[in-house]
Structure 1
Amino acid sequence: MTEVFDAIVMYQRDHKEKDLMVKMLTRQAGKRMFYVRYGKSKRYQFAAEMQPLSMSTFEGVINTTGLSFINDVKATRPTSFLMTDIVLNAYMTYIMGLIDAAFVDNQPITKWYDLVAEAVTKMEKGLDPQGIANYFEVQLLPVFGIQPTWGQCVICGRRDLPLDFSEKLNGTLCQQHWDTDPYRMHIDNRAVRILSKLAEIDLHLLGSLNLQDKTKQEMARLMDKLYDDQVGIHLRAKSFIQQLTGWQNRMINRQSSAKEDES
């Protein structure tokens, strides 16, 4: 049965000589694999809409089992800014990878489609892409079976003191109870506070997200540790982001050294 549905392309891969297999996150039916006949052909009319991170309203057949099919494209939402900015592209690709890892195929996850669509809007408006990715990391932890306590001391519940994160106790610790875990993360308090806010807020209500480099480094350090140690997934997109961050930091250090030499 033909139907109209919204979707964002997750990735594509070659199939046979001229065809494509395109995985999409659909709003109505979750993650689905579409068979695109002649998708590799230069004459294929919907080639642009099949590119990763493209968002469109499609007409096609979504099967309950097996492959689904695209018949037409009804409307397209411009996402070219994601294609031309390597940093935005990397973080949005990572977010899609998290969604792919967190949920089984063919399961409706409308809430998460709407959050991904909102993430695209936030990035287009200039909100920090790492912060948006951290939002998804925090929000998806319970889906992966990890439910930390955020924003208050896991022991006494206080919110008004500096906080750190304890893997041992699976949550934030106030300064009065730091000595209960000598191996706590020693994360900057501002980073913990922002991650705690991201754990509680609806992404649609997040109006601004201006983060200092130090804070972003600390947020990444904590989330990387949780995903490495407790979730246990290692996405290629995250490795690329870490390499990209390393390159950027080296460039900043070189520029700083050059300025010092000039002075």
Structure 2
Amino acid sequence: MLYRMEGIVIRGTDYGEGNKIITIFTPTHGKQGIVVKGARKPKSRYASLSQPFTYGDFSFYKSGNSGGLGSLNSGEILESYRELRENLDRAAYAAYAAELCDRAVAEEDASGYLYHQFKACLTAIAEGKDPAIVLRIFEMKVIQSVGYAPMLDECAVCGSADGPFRFSPLLGGAVCQRCRHQDPQALELMPQVWKLLRIFAAVDLRQLGQIDVKPPVKAGLKIAMRRWMDHHLGMKLKSVHFLDQWEKLDELPLPTRRPAAITEIPAENPE
């Protein structure tokens, strides 16, 4: 059967002699694996279409209604997102977002809202908006999509709206002073962090404007979201370690850093 759908390349793996298997994230059919024959050959007409982060229109043959790999018939690039591959700073954040999608979205699991949030995430990073904050918002969209959003406006234990609160992944989000003894590891967050977490839960990445967040607040947001995702999703993402190391380099003077290009998203071997 011939399928045609828009999608974004979130993973790529070399396959055979000169071929690639790409995984595209689509708004209507979740993740789809497609064999792109000859994609690694110098004169391939579809080499660019199989690049990481490429947003395109894909036409492919696939037997049955689900499962298995498709075979690319034709395709068209709608947005190349070259900016994300040609700069290591942006590429590192985009690769993390792509891997997060790959792990959070099941095969054939339609998630139109998350798809559009992911595309908006890539666009914001490509436009030069603060990638660390863009990712924190996207992380919130992912955990909302899979049903693990934290309670932020009232105590997750007793329902009290009286703060101040601490942040407890174990107990479900905000915990009041009366209940926080149930999780001694609950985080004490700055008021600005609480405010932004609530904004992140409500904002649509497609309407994201300019953002300017001070480093201590960014650090608090990262700790809170990382703790939450580690507890509820438990994903071991290959891109996390690299991104953490890159952010440490980002704190060094500019001459110390060496921008580079990325040609692959961290990928697992095909089964």
Give the helix-richer structure, 1 or 2.
Answer: 1
- Does structure 1 retain, via aligned residues, the 8 Å contact 2:114–2:141? no
- 2:98 aligned partner: 96
What residue in structure 1 maps to residue 269 of structure 2? none
Residue 18 of structure 1 is matched in structure 2 by 18
Runs of 4+ deviating beyond 6 Å: none
Aligned residue for 1:212? 214
Work out whether 1:158 is the aligned partner of 2:161.
yes
2:262 corresponds in structure 1 to none
Change in CA separation of 1:177 and 1:106 when aligned onto 2, cut-off 3 Å? closer
Question: Which of these two proteins has the greater Rg computed from alpha carbons?
Answer: 1
Matched, 1:70 2:72: yes
Q: Is the CA contact (8 Å cut-off) linking 2:138 and 2:205 kept in structure 1?
A: no
Partners of 1:30 and 1:107 within 8 A in 2 = yes
TM-score by length of 2: 0.82
Greater RCO structure (CA 8 Å; 6+ sep)? 2
Q: Sequence identity of aligned pairs in percent?
A: 22
Q: Match for residue 258 of structure 1?
A: none
Aligned equivalents of 1:250 and 1:39: distance in 2?
Answer: 38
CA displacement 1:147-180 (0-9 Å, x = unmatched) = 4202344345437x55431234321245687667
8 Å Cα contact 1:57/1:75 also seen in 2: yes
How far apart, in 1, do the equivalents of 2:148 and 2:76 lie? Answer: 39
Shift of 1:181: 4.8
Tell me which residue corresponds to 2:268: none
User: Where do 1:160-199 residues align within 5 Å?
Assistant: 161-173=163-175, 181-199=183-201
1:182 offset after TM fit, Å? 4.1
Moved more, 203-212 or 136-145: 136-145
Separation in 2, partners of 1:17, 1:126 = 37
> Match of 1:239?
241
CA–CA separation in structure 2 for the residues paired with 1:29 and 1:62: 13
Q: Distance in 1 between matches of 2:104 and 2:245?
A: 24
Separation in structure 2 between the aligned mates of residue 167 and residue 116 of structure 1, nearest angstrom: 24
Change over 3 Å in CA distance of 1:87–1:251 after alignment to 2: same
Measure, in 2, the Cα distance between the counterparts of 1:70 and 1:41.
15
Cα pair 1:164 1:188 within 8 Å, conserved: no
Unaligned runs of 5+ in 2: 257-271
